Structure formats: C-alpha cells, structure tokens
Amino acid sequence: MMLAEENQVTGEKKKMAIRTLSGGVLTEKEDVTRNPSKISSQDLNMYYGPVRALHGITMEVKERAVTALIGPSGCGKSTFLRTLNRMNDTIPGARIEGTVTIDGVNIYGSAVNVAALRRMVGMVFQKQNPFPKSIFDNVAYGPRLHGITDKAVLEHVVEESLKKSAIWDEVKDRLDTSAMQLSGGQQQRLCIARVLAVGPEIILMDEPASALDPLSTAKIEELIHQLRKNYTIVIVTHNMQQAARVSDYTAYFYMGSLVEFGETKTIFTNPVKKETEDYITGRFG
Amino acid sequence: MGQAIALKTSQLIRPEGRLGEVFLDVLVRVFALIPISALSFIMYMIIRKGGGAVTWQFLTQAPLEGMTHGGIFPCIFGTLAITLMMILMALPLGVASAIYLVEFAGPGLFFRITRAAVNNLAGVPSIVFGLFGVGFFILFVGRSLDHVLKTGLLFGQPCMLWAAATLAVLVLPVIIVSTEEALNAVPQSQRSASLALGATKWQTIWNVVLPQARGGILTGAILSISRGAGETAPILFTGCAYFLPRLPVVKLFGVIPMINPFDQFMELSYHIFIMATQSLDAVKTLPIQYGTTLVLIGMTFLLNLTAIIFRVHFRKKMGTVSV
C-alpha cells in the first residue's frame, strides 16, 4: 500500500500532495467540481422486510468523477450502491421509497427496463466472479447477450475492453484459455473488462480490491484513475487511504444514514462533522 | 479449577483395553461386513448360475419354445425403449420443477407444499405408482382422450406410453432433488455477474446457471434411468406383456422404424418375475432367470458407473469455479 502511495507522490511531483487525517496523502486531481450531476438520489429509503437499511439518502454524483462511499460494516454503503443499478431487486422483501434519477430519469419508474438500466450502470463485485468460460467468452458474454453475433465486431469489442481495463498485454496470447487460470487481480480486471464491453456510462464498484494483494490493488487503483476520464465511478471501500487516493468525492455513511458528503479533499482534511473525523482518523468506536 | 480431572504423566500409559470397548469394536466391524458379504453372495450366485447362460444368442434372440429356450432380446429392447421414453418425459418436467423451486419460488406456502410433495412422492411404494398409472393415465387420461379424439381404444389401454409416464412420475423426485442440488451449487455471485451485465433472469439461467449445473443434472438423469430400469411394480398393469411375438416397433410412413408407444412390451425385471412365478417349467428356466438377472444388474451397474464418472468430472469442474 505504501509503495503505491510513494509512487504516486514521486511520480506526479508537479501536483501538490496533501497530508490527510487518515495518515496517508492525497494528490490533487483534475478539477471535476464543474462536471454536471449524473446520478441524484432524493430522500431514498430502503427496507429489507421490516428492517430499514437506508434513511432518507439525498446525494448528487458528479459525471466523470470518482465518488467513494465509506463507513463501517453494515452502514448501508453497499446497499446504497446496489440501489443504483437495482441489484437489490433480486433480494426478496427489499422495498424502496424515494427516487434515484440518472440523467434526470427516475430508474424506479414503472416503465424502466431493468436489464437496460444494468447495461448502462455496470457493476464490479467484491469477490472477482468470472464465468468458468474462456477469457474471450467472458468479455463477449454481455455483447452476445445484447445481440452481437458478428465475429469481427465481437473480437474488436473484446480487444478494446481488455485494453481499457489494462489487461490486454497479459492475456492477448491466451484468449481461449479459461478465465479461472488467471490470478485474482487479473480476474478482477477481467471482470472490469466484461463490464466495459456492454458500454456502460456508470461503473459501480463494491470493494473491488478488498480480496487482492497490494500490488494488484495498486493496479486496480491505477485503472480507476484511467477510467475516471470516461466513466462515472461510484466505489465502496473500507480502505481510507484508498478512498483518499482514488476519489474526488466522499460520502460517509453510518447506520443507514448519510452523515457527510463532500469533496474528498475537504472530507479528509477538514470534515464538518466530528463523527466523520473520528471515523477517518480511526478513533471510531 | 480442573484439579479433579487433571492427569498425571504416569496415567498416560494406555491401560489394557477394557473388555466392553473391545467387544463393541469387533461388533461394529462385523456389522459393517454384513452388507458387503450380502452383495458379494448375491453377485456370486448370479454370476455362477447365470454367467453360462449369457451368450450372444441369449442377448439377440427372442424367447423360444414357450420361453424355455432362446434369448431375451425383446426384454432388453423393451427396457431400453421404456427408460428412454421415461427420461424424455421426466427430465424436462423435473428440471423445470427444480428451476422453479431454486430460482423462482419465494419462501411462501406454495413453495413449502411443493417441497413436501416432492419429498413424499419419493416415499410412495412403487406398487401404488402402478395402480395410479392404471387409474390416472389409462382409465382417466387415456379413455378421455379416446372419447374426445374419437380414436376408439387407442389411448385407453395399457401400453408403453402409459408405462413410461408412470415410471416418469416415480423417478421425478430423483431428478428434482439432484437438479436442485446442482442449481444450488452454482454460486450466487455467478448469477449476480450475469444480471449486472444486463441479462434477464431467463438469460442468466440459460447461459450461466444451467451450463454450470449440467454435470449434476446429467448425473441425476442417469441415476433415475437406472432406478426406472429396475422397477417392476409400476409397469405391471400399465403396459408390459408376458410374451409378445414381435417387437413394439412401427414403421413411420411405412419406412422409418420407430418405437411404437401404443404397443405393449416385454421388460427385463418383469421377465424375471414371470419366469420365476408363472413359467411353464420354473426349474427348466432357472438359467434364463439368472441370465436375465445378470443382464439387468449389468445394465444398472454400467449406468451407475457412468453417473459416478460424470459426478467426478463435474466436481473437478466445480472445483475450478469456486475460486
């Protein structure tokens, strides 16, 4: 973890390094504050049966920026993430109140095609979950699903997606081998390629590096930094340094409520709320 | 604390085995030997007495001279035909039920009723299935079809179709339970991955879940075939015959030979039963009885072996999935 930080600091000397409350450093990124809002949740409540998991979340997610969701386990950050592509729909007894809009369209509206929504809002999971198929078939799964059968087109999409997820050079000579033979970090980048292949605008990441070693984690973070230029990214993480490194905005969740939301810079150096500061500095609990 | 049960090092030396312990030890070993010896004895008797009877002629000829000579080819044909028809009916039905139970059913009342029905179906005595076959398939479904379609007496009589349907109901629980297990073995994360890529539920089941469950489903199918092939009671009244001078085959368009589902058939296990109880000369036909038994057991054994090979192959594959 330290290695990656130092690289970032020494590699991008021109940019100012800011020491954060969590002990790590934060590098100045391109300004995204003037980007338009991509996702907006209004007074969002979520219930699992009788249990209320989210309490009136109101939040704006900027386009082409990285928004990190932090907070202790069970605070609702993953639940909130999963409301953004309606993955919670698959859980029996899950119920939602309030609205989530993407580009102004309420994704919980009655006319919304959930499958189409999930093409637009891709998701990367905590545990890498490639299909037990070849590397090629993994990436081609989505495009094939959505009706692309032309071999040349598929090959093009697969190559582009693997390049964008920075794994092409490692796998280009063995696209026909099983994805199960890749290392954990490679599998996770393959899963990102699989998401990119369906052409999403938003990518949700649920602790994408928590099961990976530090080197693979650094690669994923570097990839997030690249993807940020073209995609809106929302990432859940337990790693404070990671949140500080990769994100432009940070939201701190606690007990299903949004405690504080703002620019990562501010949250990590000068948070408004005492609870946020306690959590970030590790004095929590 | 602990003083009362604390041991001294001198007590670590093993005392002479207490008699009661030794006795129980021997007893469970002897009991464990019983099933092995029973199976060995049965196999020994059947192979010794029937091994000589199983010749090429025996496997390829029809019974001759009032079934005291000749072979059992019609019975082998009938057994294969009936189990083929059975699995064609039972597999789609069973897999569909399992898909419903695993992928769609909520934890409600209907789910619990279906579960209970499947479990109880597995416990119904096979003769009850035989009577059910007559009452439901032949007399109710068959006669009603004849009445509606004005086909005289085509459906409403014992035949291969209804015997296979009765066997299909019998093996349904086997297929449902093994398919359920195979579907449950597919990690939830695989379904999530597919859904998150914009697949519908059915696309996910078809492209991700079923291919990964294939091995387990096939294993269940083969096991149910071997179960169905050995059953006598369900086909007793629903279509098998004491003796037929011809194979239950019909020429489609007068050319293509195919199994005739409206004909009756001879079958291995039923053949053993009638040879032993209703033969013209039960002593004279003993070699035929043993030979037939050997063929039936051999077929079942081969099927079970295939199922085991599938299962091992399947486990290996799944091992690489759950990284």
pLDDT tens digit string along B23-79?
Answer: 898 999 999 999 999 999 999 999 998 888 888 888 888 888 777 778 889 999 999
B107 touches chain A (CB under 8 A): yes
For residue B257, name the pLDDT band (cuts at 50, 70, 90). confident
8 Å CB contact of A195 and B196: yes
Q: What is the C-alpha separation between B303 and B223, in angstroms, rounded? A: 7
Å between A18 CA and nearest CA of chain B: 36
Summarised one tens digit per residue, pLDDT across range A35-65 is 889 999 999 999 998 999 999 999 999 999 9
- How many angstroms separate the CA atoms of A243 and A94, rounded? 28
Q: What is the pLDDT confidence band of residue A162, given thresholds at 50, 70 and 90?
A: very high
A123 CB near a chain B CB, below 8 Å? Answer: yes
Give residue A115's identity as a one-letter amino acid code.
Answer: A
Q: What's the pLDDT at B252?
A: 77
Q: Is the pLDDT of residue A12 over 50?
A: no
Give the integer Cα–Cα distance in Å for B150 and B136. 19
Cβ neighbours of A83 in B, within 8 Å: none
pLDDT of residue A90: 83
Q: Look at the block and give the residue holding tokens 């279509």.
A: B239
B280 exposed, middle or buried (CB, 10 Å; 0-12, 13-18, 19+)?
exposed
User: Tokens in use for B117?
Assistant: 């029905």
Asked if the C-beta of A142 comes within 8 angstroms of chain B's C-beta atoms, the answer is: yes
Check if the beta carbon of residue A158 is closer than 8 Å to that of residue A197: yes
CA gap A1, A237 in Å, rounded: 14
pLDDT at B311 exceeding the cut of 80: no
What is the structure's pLDDT at B321? 44
Cα gap B7→B5, rounded to integer Å: 6
Closest CA–CA distance from residue B186 to any residue of chain A (Å): 11
Across chain A, mean pLDDT equals 89
On the question of pLDDT at A8 being above 60, the answer is no
Beta carbons within 8 Å of B83's beta carbon, 6+ residues apart: B167, B225, B228, B229
Q: Is the pLDDT of residue A13 over 80?
A: no
Residues of A within 8 A of B200 (CB-CB) are 115
Compare CB distances from A180 to B106, B207, B321 and report the shortest one's residue: B321
Task: Say if residue A241's pLDDT is above 70.
Answer: yes
CB B161 within 8 Å of CB B136: no
pLDDT at A17: 66
Q: Chain B within 8 Å of A146 (Cβ-Cβ)?
A: yes
User: Which pLDDT tens digit goes with each residue over A190-210?
Assistant: 999 999 999 999 999 999 998
Question: Which one of B111, B315, B323 makes the best mutation probe of the A interface by having the most chain A beta carbons within 10 Å?
Answer: B323
Which of A64, A201, A52, A43 has its CA nearest to residue A120? Answer: A201
Mean pLDDT for the stretch of residues B244-268: 84
Q: Please report the number of interchain residue pairs, chain A to chain B, with beta-carbon separation below 8 angstroms.
A: 69
Report the pLDDT value the prediction gives residue B261, as an integer from 0 to 100. Answer: 87
For residue A140 the two structure tokens come to 């081609």
Asked if the C-beta of B144 comes within 8 angstroms of chain A's C-beta atoms, the answer is no
The answer on pLDDT for A93 being more than 90 is: no
Average per-residue pLDDT for chain B: 87
**Nearest chain B Cα distance for residue A177, angstroms:** 13
> Is the model more confident about B18 or about A273?
A273
Of A26 and B91, which is predicted with more confidence?
B91
Q: What three-state secondary structure class fits B145?
A: helix
Gap from A146 CA to chain B (nearest CA, Å): 8
Higher pLDDT, B245 or A12: B245
**Residue B317 pLDDT level (bands cut at 50, 70, 90):** low
Taking CA–CA distances from B188, the nearest residue in chain A reads: A129
At A180, give phi and psi (nearest 5°). Answer: -70, -20
The alpha carbons of chain B give a radius of gyration, in whole angstroms, of 26
B196 touches A: beta carbon within 8 Å: yes
- Confidence check: pLDDT of B238 > 80: yes
- Give A129's contacts in chain B (Cβ within 8 Å): 187, 189-190, 192-193
pLDDT at A11: 44
Q: What is the mean pLDDT of residues B194-210?
A: 95
Lowest mean pLDDT among A18-22, A44-48, A163-167, A172-176: A18-22
**Cβ atoms of B167 and B234 closer than 8 Å:** yes
Q: Which residues of B touch A117 (CB under 8 A)?
A: 198
Q: Percent of chain A scored above 70 by pLDDT?
A: 93
> Least CB-CB distance to B197: which of A92, A118, A127?
A118
pLDDT digit string (tens) for B98-143?
999 999 887 788 888 988 999 999 889 999 999 999 999 999 999 9
Average pLDDT of the residues in A223-234: 94
B317 interaction partners in chain A (CB closer than 8 Å):
132
Distance, CA of A97 to CA of A47 (rounded, Å):
8
Question: Bigger pLDDT: B67 or A280?
Answer: A280
CA A264, distance to chain mean position in Å, is 15
Of A17, A21, A37, residue with least CA distance to A29: A17
Cβ distance A129 to B193 less than 8 Å, yes or no, reads: yes
- B321–A129 C-beta distance less than 8 A: no
Q: Is B323–A145 a contact, with Cβ atoms under 8 angstroms apart?
A: no
Q: Looking at residue A16, what is its pLDDT?
A: 60
pTM of the model: 0.83
Element (H, E) at B5: none
> Quick check: A267 and A240 in contact, CB under 8 A?
no
pLDDT band, very low/low/confident/very high, at B155 (cuts 50, 70, 90): confident
Contact between chains at A128 and B196 (C-beta distance less than 8 A)? no
